Structure 1
Amino acid sequence: MIGILACGAYVPRLRLQRATVAAAHAWFAPALKAHDKGERAMANWDEDAITLAVEAARDAAPEASREAIGALVLASTSLPFADRQNAGIVKESLNLRDQVFTQDVGGSQKAGTGALVQALRASNGEHTLCIASERAVSKPGSEAELINGDAAAAFVIGEGEPIARCIGTHSLSVDFVDHFRGRDAAFDYGWEARWVRDEGYVGIVGNALTQALAKFGLAGEDVHRLIVPIPVRGVAEALSKQAGIPATAIGDSLGASLGHAGCAQPLVLLAHALEHAQPGERIVVLGFGQGADVLIFETTPAIATRVREHGRGVSGWLARGKPESNYLKYLFFTGGVDLDTGMRAEFDQKQPLTALYRNRSAVLGLVGGHDPESGAVQYPPSGIAVGAQAARISKFEPYPLAERTARVLTFTADRLAFTPDPPGCYGMVEFDGGGRMVTEFTDADADQIEVGRPMRMTFRIKSVDARRGFVKYFWKAMPA
């Protein structure tokens, strides 16, 4: 039986308060007050579509289950690299074997559901890790700036005993341009909202939905949960009425607490629905963008015990949110304003690509070394054992550290060295089971860090080579 074997998600810690944004633009765009309720997920300066994807994948697929993964598909319209495979970076961070097939999917808001359809159709005995991630940048003063949100979701797809089996999928491909972004454009250009709603959402998506139900012999009342990832009021209700689906089946859009995460939104909402679903529920997921996708699932008895075996899920990540009312910080993090960062920020960030390739498991996968003779763990890995005894040559074994809890040994908060979010907090951590490293701390206020505090390693942006357009990634520590 092919279906969803596991699911996970990730939502950044910061929550931009919409009222703050609307107030900042009230002098010029008072109509934005219509969207000033609630908050939206806001990525930190060291997060992008790749780092969000890594965290969602870790949430869905614990380390012990990754050997079965044979393919990794990453969907996004905001990936940092145009000609370096972004999915390959995610693969390295998860320490997947080199024989894994990797693919980037983009070009449409339908990319997330499209990737999921592909994964469901391509199962060949191996599991597919399907991820959708979005960190879209919106033009300051636009509605999208308040409506959008940053998030990612991941699903392990394959044969076995799924938590939700796939009843079927149905797709329409139509070159309906509701918005677009040219190759060299920084922001999307949107078309007239009423036309998009009536012709696109209600027309194209509505037709796809009714066709899908008929195709698989389902009536509207057979649907228990309807996921509509469209951030326009009234559309979900219109679609449910058109298909004869009870209004009570419409799922939470998470608009007030997360926002709209672009092509990742359908998968985020599906992951959220599975956290609360009971066995035997039929879930219909819609995707929109140059056509429409409809995916129909039915939950199995396994969902009662397995959906929350590990990870935090959408609900867990939402619960850790921290309100952010500094609109200028948001603009700086997204490139909306160029601040004077001072002379300390003026240093070359060139990445030696040969060294990155040779050390990719240590840098991107956080793999240390284990000395089989003494039992000592070292990071970075080395062929020379060091410690209280004299240095000696040893055959170290690979020792992944990313999923191990670390504890703070030393720390400092530095306001002299440049960091986009001062103060820069860093220090030494020690891993459960052995091994120490000096690392930066992220998603932690300076007064939250103390010796002995448990920390969780997280994959983040280390620095950006703005001159050459290269992003460097590494692992940082955040409060567990």
Structure 2
Amino acid sequence: MSEQPGIDAYAAYLPAYALDDTRLDATEPPRAGGPVRGVAAYDEDAVTMAVEALRHIAADTPAGRQLLLATTSAPYEAKTSAGIVHEALGLDPGVTALDLRGHRAGASALDLVLRAGATAALADVRTTRPGAPDELAQGDAAAAFVGGLRAAVLLARVGRTAEVLDRWRLPGERHDRVWDERFTAEILVAAGLDAARRALAEASLDTVDQVVVSSSNPRAATALRRALGGSGQDAAIERATGFTGAAHPGLLLAAALDEAPPGQSILLLSATEGADAFVLRVGAGVRAARGGPSVRAQLAARQRLGYGRYLRWRGLLDVQGPARPAAPAPAAPPMHRRAGWKYRLEGSRCDTCGRVTTPPGRVCASCGVDGSGAATAKVSLRDRTARVVSATRDHLTTMPEPEVAIVVADSDGGGRLSAYATDVPPGDVVVGMPMTPTFRRLWTTDSIHNYFWKLRPARPETAPGKDTADGQ
């Protein structure tokens, strides 16, 4: 790694859904102009969103580096959730996978990316009690970063710790508890201003071109933006996504890098349980450094979600499901033996006819040749477009939806997939539709999460620096 630390590549992932109305009684007047929160689908969690954010930028992570997952909503407690992300990305076994927990974990992960060349995903699914005052002010998202120099160079970094009861959650609880924000704002603002001023001094700068503020306390965020001369662009993104927990500083930084010209200076300040301030210089290769669509392009492409559907997805509304047994729990031995198929969607290419068999098998599904004595090539289908050849609508699904689509699709370059469709109404799935694999949670049984790949409609990829939708 270069002696001068920074960011080589970055990406953001916003779920396909947005919630802007929490009325249980439709006769009540809607609240116009209120905040909007990003909503992860029922089959998404911190692990799946981390995979989506990292999949296009982390493939070349070398052995000896670290893969970090920063979150407050890890799907497992004792088990390392970053290990699942590592397996789904197909990284070198020499890459160490680690979890970072807590609201400050996002800033800590960024610090390790910038100063130690780590690869990190910051991902969170935020849930409040129905009717909570900040229900629309919390949101779900992920951001990912790889250490290097193309996107940005670190000029200074200063941290301040302040032990304060701001947001917390006891083991076994689902929702954060929050202290009166008027009390904690004063503490966080003091820590944030001190960290920001010290970082600017360390960078030998009086001002910066752009100020980005993330805070678990909205009152503190507003005060810090005002004191530091922020433009409000970060506040506009936050109003469209909600506070996304550990992912939030990374999400706001990704949005800033999307639009910042090379050479511009950025002050990123995260005020949570203290403060972390970073001063960055945008790199000459920032446009080529982004993986996937920009933050604004993803905001413009979201679907509006109804409140009742959101409550069902989160398990906050107990609804009678179909009279059928629960799906069986996966077992550890076959999950380990079939990791290439389960986590990386790898098929086997026949040495004789060149066709791809999925799931991978000893015998070619096309020509019937037994390839057990040959070195059959493994081919991953996770980044290929697949086109629907048939679709079935399942009305007895155990998922929190009245029906789901099950599709058979042929992958470009060979290989046939049978998978659930997601992020699309079942009736909209038609023969010939292009779809792309996405890593999702199928179901949870006996305290075991069953992850596999589903298919979603292909999103038009935006060329770096040339957004087709800017969210305006």
What is the TM-score normalised by the length of structure 1?
Answer: 0.89
316, 334, 346: which one pairs with 2:297? Answer: 316
Tell me how far 1:406 sits from its aligned partner. 0.8
State whether structure 2 residue 367 is matched by structure 1 residue 379: no
| 2:450 corresponds to | 472
State whether structure 2 residue 280 is matched by structure 1 residue 297: yes
State whether structure 2 residue 333 is matched by structure 1 residue 354: yes
Contact 1:285 1:295 in 2 (8 A): yes
Separation in structure 2 between the aligned mates of residue 180 and residue 24 of structure 1, nearest angstrom: 31
Tell me how far 1:184 sits from its aligned partner. 2.5
State whether structure 2 residue 92 is matched by structure 1 residue 105: no
Contact 1:237 1:247 in 2 (8 A): no
State whether structure 2 residue 128 is matched by structure 1 residue 130: no
459, 471, 475: which one pairs with 2:439? Answer: 459
Contact 1:463 1:472 in 2 (8 A): yes
| 1:367 corresponds to | 346
Q: Sort the Cα spacing of 1:370 and 1:139 in 2 relative to 1 into closer, same or farther, 3 A.
A: same
Contact 1:366 1:402 in 2 (8 A): yes
Separation in structure 2 between the aligned mates of residue 230 and residue 417 of structure 1, nearest angstrom: 40
Separation in structure 2 between the aligned mates of residue 241 and residue 389 of structure 1, nearest angstrom: 69
Separation in structure 2 between the aligned mates of residue 39 and residue 290 of structure 1, nearest angstrom: 25
Contact 2:344 2:380 in 1 (8 A): yes
196, 199, 202: which one pairs with 1:215? Answer: 202
Separation in structure 1 between the aligned mates of residue 162 and residue 135 of structure 2, nearest angstrom: 27
Separation in structure 2 between the aligned mates of residue 381 and residue 290 of structure 1, nearest angstrom: 48
Tell me how far 1:418 sits from its aligned partner. 3.2
For residues 397-436 of structure 1, the aligned pairs below 5 Å read 397-436=377-416
Contact 1:440 1:477 in 2 (8 A): yes
Count of aligned pairs: 454
State whether structure 2 residue 134 is matched by structure 1 residue 154: no
Separation in structure 1 between the aligned mates of residue 345 and residue 415 of structure 2, nearest angstrom: 11
Instruction: Using the TM superposition, name which of 262-271 and 347-356 deviates more.
Output: 347-356
- Identity over aligned residues, as a percent? 31
Separation in structure 2 between the aligned mates of residue 446 and residue 52 of structure 1, nearest angstrom: 22
| Corresponding residue SS for 1:195 | helix
| 1:248 corresponds to | 231
User: Could you say which structure has the higher helix fraction?
Assistant: 1
Amino acid at match of 1:474: F
Contact 2:105 2:246 in 1 (8 A): yes
Once the two structures are superposed, what CA deviation does each residue of 1:319-364 show, in whole Å capped at 9, x if it has no partner?
Answer: 2200112x121111112122221322x2353221111111112101
State whether structure 2 residue 36 is matched by structure 1 residue 6: no
State whether structure 2 residue 151 is matched by structure 1 residue 163: yes
Separation in structure 1 between the aligned mates of residue 27 and residue 106 of structure 2, nearest angstrom: 34
Q: Sort the Cα spacing of 1:475 and 1:2 in 2 relative to 1 into closer, same or farther, 3 A.
A: same
Tell me how far 1:210 sits from its aligned partner. 1.7
What is the TM-score normalised by the length of structure 2?
Answer: 0.90
Contact 2:38 2:241 in 1 (8 A): yes
Q: Sort the Cα spacing of 1:287 and 1:237 in 2 relative to 1 into closer, same or farther, 3 A.
A: closer
Amino acid at match of 2:194: N
State whether structure 2 residue 255 is matched by structure 1 residue 272: yes
Q: Sort the Cα spacing of 1:359 and 1:389 in 2 relative to 1 into closer, same or farther, 3 A.
A: closer
Amino acid at match of 2:409: V
| 1:262 corresponds to | 245
Separation in structure 2 between the aligned mates of residue 146 and residue 26 of structure 1, nearest angstrom: 20
Separation in structure 1 between the aligned mates of residue 163 and residue 132 of structure 2, nearest angstrom: 25
Tell me how far 1:146 sits from its aligned partner. 1.3
Q: Sort the Cα spacing of 1:22 and 1:433 in 2 relative to 1 into closer, same or farther, 3 A.
A: same
In structure 2, stretches of 5+ residues that fail to align are 459-472
Tell me how far 1:10 sits from its aligned partner. 0.6
| Corresponding residue SS for 1:167 | strand
Once the two structures are superposed, what CA deviation does each residue of 1:58-107 show, in whole Å capped at 9, x if it has no partner?
Answer: 2444x5x4557832101000111001110000011111111111110012
| 2:78 corresponds to | 83
Contact 2:150 2:289 in 1 (8 A): no
| 1:116 corresponds to | 110
Contact 2:89 2:344 in 1 (8 A): yes
In structure 1, stretches of 5+ residues that fail to align are none
Separation in structure 2 between the aligned mates of residue 324 and residue 235 of structure 1, nearest angstrom: 29
Once the two structures are superposed, what CA deviation does each residue of 1:416-469 show, in whole Å capped at 9, x if it has no partner?
Answer: 34332232101211111100021110001123211111111000011111xx32
Contact 1:35 1:147 in 2 (8 A): no
Amino acid at match of 1:149: G
Contact 2:53 2:121 in 1 (8 A): yes
| 1:173 corresponds to | 161
Q: Sort the Cα spacing of 1:256 and 1:238 in 2 relative to 1 into closer, same or farther, 3 A.
A: closer
| Corresponding residue SS for 1:89 | helix
Q: Sort the Cα spacing of 1:454 and 1:80 in 2 relative to 1 into closer, same or farther, 3 A.
A: same
Amino acid at match of 1:477: L
